[in-house]
Amino acid sequence: MLNFKQLEALYWLRELQSFGKAAKRLHVTQPAVSARIASLESQIGQQLFERRHSSIRLTRIGEEIADHAEKIVNAQYALLDNIRRNEKSVLRIGMISPVSFTWGHDLLVRLRDMDTEVAVEFIVASSAHLERELDAGSIDLAFVTRDSRQPPSTSDLVMSYDLGWVGAPELVRDLKQPLSAADLTKQALIMYPQTSPLYSPVHDILIHPKASYGMRHQATSLPAIIEMLRFGYGFSVVSLAVVEKELQTGQLVQIKSEVEFNPLIVHCISQSGHSRRPVKVAIEAARQAAYDYVHAKTRYIRIAPDATVGRDTEMSG
């Protein structure tokens, strides 16, 4: 029978791509990690890794088992963490960066001010990561992106974030706007990581066989992209609500372009639906926080018509 230590070793090997690093993470020796993997391979009867001189690579069956191991490991860690915090239940809420930059803090304040025995923790990450965490039971609720071309969501809260090309003023002065795709291709651009929903649209649109290419900077997070925009590294497509203050003060400017993108659609998904009262309370608090933010602070976010704020929902406890 497979045991947790075997699956834990497999999970960290995939994450860290090194037997030595996995051993350090698990506080065991490298031979101990190797023994766990060998035992797992023996029980399954198949090889899980292709071992190379300087790297390791999972086989197809290794990837499948590692996907299951990830859910088990995350659930175990979450359970142990809850046990250690036995004085309170913990509600974990995930959100993508645009949410944390806009109304996420308002949600934190609302939940913190409520009279409740539930401790709330926030995790900011990519949609792909948050959905994996939700599937594994490591978080209870998440605000993630979905493509605007997908079928309508039945989510409790659906929001539309306007996207636009943005850059530092000094980079725009001598450019004739609106910029065409060929014009943009020639500029220095700040690109998203490949896991971002904005990577492929930007990358695909700006491929012109006969065009000259400007520099392509890479950033691993939205905060990094915003800082690079401020320092004038180049242009990028961002949620305009995230840089609204910079646009108002003139630190950044929106660039008119013939290349436009569909809005970024953010929706709410929950691991346990409405069965847990803390989840229900958090969803209603999120509705209120998002509604107030949109109507008081920004013109770059819209709430879907059916995602209305409940008037009679109890907000305490």
Name the 3-class secondary structure at 38. helix
| DSSP H or E segment with residue 118 | strand 118-124
Instruction: Name the pTM for this structure.
Output: 0.68
Sign of CA dihedral 125, 131, 136, 142: positive
Length of the chain: 317
**What pLDDT does residue 152 have?**
44
Residue 124, pLDDT score: 93
**Cβ neighbours around 161 below 10 Å, total:** 22
Structural contact between residues 289 and 103, judged by C-beta atoms closer than 8 angstroms: yes
Nearest in space to 125 (alpha carbons), one of 227, 233, 220? 220
Annotate 120-162 with DSSP letters as a single string: EEEEE--HHHHHHHHHTTS-SEEEEEE-TTSPPP--S-EEEE-
Per-residue confidence of the chain (317 residues) as pLDDT tens digits? 678 888 888 888 888 888 888 888 888 888 888 888 888 888 888 888 887 666 788 888 988 888 888 888 887 777 776 665 555 567 889 999 999 999 999 999 998 887 566 778 899 988 888 888 887 777 888 999 875 444 444 456 899 999 999 999 999 888 888 988 888 888 899 988 877 777 777 777 766 666 667 888 988 889 999 999 999 999 999 999 999 999 999 999 999 998 888 899 999 888 654 456 788 888 889 999 999 999 988 889 998 765 444 333 332 22
Q: Are strands 216-218 and 236-239 parallel, antiparallel or unpaired?
A: unpaired
pLDDT at site 208: 62
Sketch out the chain's domains with CATH numbers. Answer: 4-73 (1.10.10.10), 85-161+264-303 (3.40.190.10), 163-255 (3.40.190.290)
Q: What is the pLDDT of residue 310?
A: 39
Question: Is residue 189 within 8 Å of residue 228, measured between CB atoms?
Answer: no
- The CA distance from 113 to 108, in Å, is 9
What does the pLDDT read at residue 53? 64
Beta-ladder partners of 119? 90
Give, in order, the Cα–Cα distances in Å from 16 to each of 130, 288, 314.
Answer: 19, 40, 45
Residue carrying the six token digits 């309170």: 88
Judge contact between 225 and 238, C-beta under 8 A.
yes
Q: Is residue 216 within 8 Å of 189, Cβ to Cβ?
A: yes
Q: Is 114 within 8 Å of 120 (Cβ atoms)?
A: no
